[in-house]
Structure 1
Amino acid sequence: MKLTEHTISVVIGGTSGIGYSVAEKLRERNGTVVVASRRTGLDMTNEERVRKYFDSLGELDHLVITAGSSAPAGEVANIDIRDAQQGFDTKFWGTVIVVKEAAKHIREGGSITLTSGFLSRKTTKGAFVKSAMNAALEATTKILAKELAPIRVNVVSPGITDTEAYIGMASRNKKEMFERNASILPTGRIGQPNDIADGYLFAIDNLFMTGAVIDLEGGALIN
């Protein structure tokens, strides 16, 4: 899709990780790129603040949401429900709130691209919360693509990617985890933010695609 000098793209979660890479790639094109995240003061879970944010921006063309949340690991029988709910409040309900308010301002020919994750369809013991959140987002994407048409709505589903999400891990443990996963992926490596960012640009550019899940997971789903 041709972006003009008047095109406005908003990247929620654009101050780090995949979102930062998306914003940088968009800045190489025509138009204005606006980034927002918790770091800039936007709390996705606060509907009133999100409403005021998009009302203040006015019209826009493309919305990308890469903001995520931490989610507790563990088997269903042992999960801390409050922690699980907090994860859902941010990634799932926060995304719904942002889409609800932003869609009112998206111009004709615009798009919305969400973020799920490969665990939505990769059965992994102990990943109940992430699997449920991501599966819910993928199902919601398809509903939104119908309800918001002709706005196009798609979702990018990344695999393991080297981002700040792992900043809390000891460097040695992180290195070992990345190497272990790379060794079993068909691609032979884990993802980098730029790899995943290309998927969002594809979703923006392709005018014949809506309701799609774009898998960028190094082949994890065929293992």
Structure 2
Amino acid sequence: MNTEKTVYVVIGGTSGIGAALSQQLESENAIVHVASRKSGLDISDEQSVYHYFETIGAFDHLIVTAGSYAPAGKVVDVEVSQAKYAFDTKFWGAVNAAKHGARYIKKGGSISLTSGMLSRKVVANTYVKAAINAAIEATTKVLAKELAPIRVNAVSPGLTKTEAYQGMNEGDRNAMYERTQSSLPVGKVGEASDVAKAYLLLIQNSYMTGAVIDVDGGALLG
């Protein structure tokens, strides 16, 4: 009987979708390594990422959910330095993780990245998020070819109730949730646990690579 434990690395796993996924992955047959800026890992720093994977060693599945922040606003108003900072964290951070994590991923393993619906839903004042998410989706497909037989996929969440919106005024936040709820075909705003299930699918289904899974309540339908 094979008693070897499955080892997961969840980067961005201390809050939001990553934390929900980490909980769903936990079992007596699993070891779940969770890392984020809170735990001291800066994924925009390639050396930091390189050394982090050295400390983990061989593992099975890498999931990157870090980097939800990006400045909103018109292109004429957004500080390019802030836009670059967001790219450094979410896009280049994902690339750093894939680059250095791939060396340690065992046979049958996978990498799951995180984009977002703004990659394909056109909304004014969101060019930074749109560009980052589109770049991640395009790169996911290239990495699926380059890193094969490691499988590389992405999850594209819609609006999800997480700590990412804690900084908003409570009234504004609730109004945003209500607007979204009334506009979505499913009639609800996503929970972190809803989105986490998509990563489980990508991890468990050995016939999926280069895929982008939309978990957005139907937001892309119009």
**TM-superposed deviation, 1:173:** 1.2
Gaps in structure 2 of 5+ consecutive residues:
none
1:202 match: 201
1:27 match: 26
How do 1:179-190 residues align onto structure 2 when only pairs under 5 Å count?
179-190=178-189
**TM-superposed deviation, 1:6:** 1.9
8 A Cα contact 1:4 1:31, kept in partner? no
Distance (whole Å) between structure 2 residues aligned to residue 134 and residue 62 of structure 1:
21
Distance (whole Å) between structure 2 residues aligned to residue 28 and residue 220 of structure 1:
33
Taking a change above 3 Å as real, the CA distance of residues 75 and 28 of structure 1, as seen in their structure-2 partners, is: same
**TM-superposed deviation, 1:78:** 2.5
Q: Secondary structure, in 3 states, of the residue corresponding to 2:32?
A: strand
Length, aligned pairs only: 221
Q: Secondary structure, in 3 states, of the residue corresponding to 1:45?
A: coil
Gaps in structure 1 of 5+ consecutive residues:
none
Counterpart residue identity of residue 213, structure 2: I
**TM-superposed deviation, 1:219:** 0.3
Distance (whole Å) between structure 2 residues aligned to residue 107 and residue 4 of structure 1:
16
Distance (whole Å) between structure 1 residues aligned to residue 57 and residue 64 of structure 2:
18
Distance (whole Å) between structure 1 residues aligned to residue 77 and residue 39 of structure 2:
35
Distance (whole Å) between structure 2 residues aligned to residue 4 and residue 156 of structure 1:
30
8 A Cα contact 1:63 1:112, kept in partner? yes
2:5 match: 6
Q: CA RMSD in A?
A: 1.2
How do 1:81-120 residues align onto structure 2 when only pairs under 5 Å count?
81-120=80-119
Q: Which segment is superposed worse, 153-162 or 75-84?
A: 75-84
Distance (whole Å) between structure 1 residues aligned to residue 49 and residue 59 of structure 2:
15
Counterpart residue identity of residue 38, structure 1: R
Distance (whole Å) between structure 2 residues aligned to residue 52 and residue 125 of structure 1:
39
**TM-superposed deviation, 1:29:** 6.2
User: In the TM superposition, what whole-angstrom CA distance separates every residue of 1:110-169 from its partner, at most 9, and x where no partner exists?
Assistant: 000000000000000111000000000000000000000000000000000000000001
Taking a change above 3 Å as real, the CA distance of residues 66 and 29 of structure 1, as seen in their structure-2 partners, is: farther
Q: Secondary structure, in 3 states, of the residue corresponding to 2:160?
A: coil
Counterpart residue identity of residue 70, structure 1: Y
**TM-superposed deviation, 1:27:** 0.1
Identity %: 55
1:163 match: 162
1:148 match: 147
8 A Cα contact 1:44 1:94, kept in partner? yes
**TM-superposed deviation, 1:69:** 3.8
Distance (whole Å) between structure 2 residues aligned to residue 139 and residue 204 of structure 1:
19
Counterpart residue identity of residue 86, structure 1: Y
**TM-superposed deviation, 1:71:** 1.0
Distance (whole Å) between structure 2 residues aligned to residue 29 and residue 119 of structure 1:
37
User: In the TM superposition, what whole-angstrom CA distance separates every residue of 1:162-211 from its partner, at most 9, and x where no partner exists?
Assistant: 00000001111111110011100001011000000000000001000000
Taking a change above 3 Å as real, the CA distance of residues 158 and 222 of structure 1, as seen in their structure-2 partners, is: same
Q: Which segment is superposed worse, 10-19 or 72-81?
A: 72-81
Q: Structure 1 runs of 4+ off > 4 angstroms?
A: none
Taking a change above 3 Å as real, the CA distance of residues 183 and 166 of structure 1, as seen in their structure-2 partners, is: same
8 A Cα contact 1:154 1:213, kept in partner? yes
**TM-superposed deviation, 1:4:** 5.7
Distance (whole Å) between structure 1 residues aligned to residue 81 and residue 51 of structure 2:
28
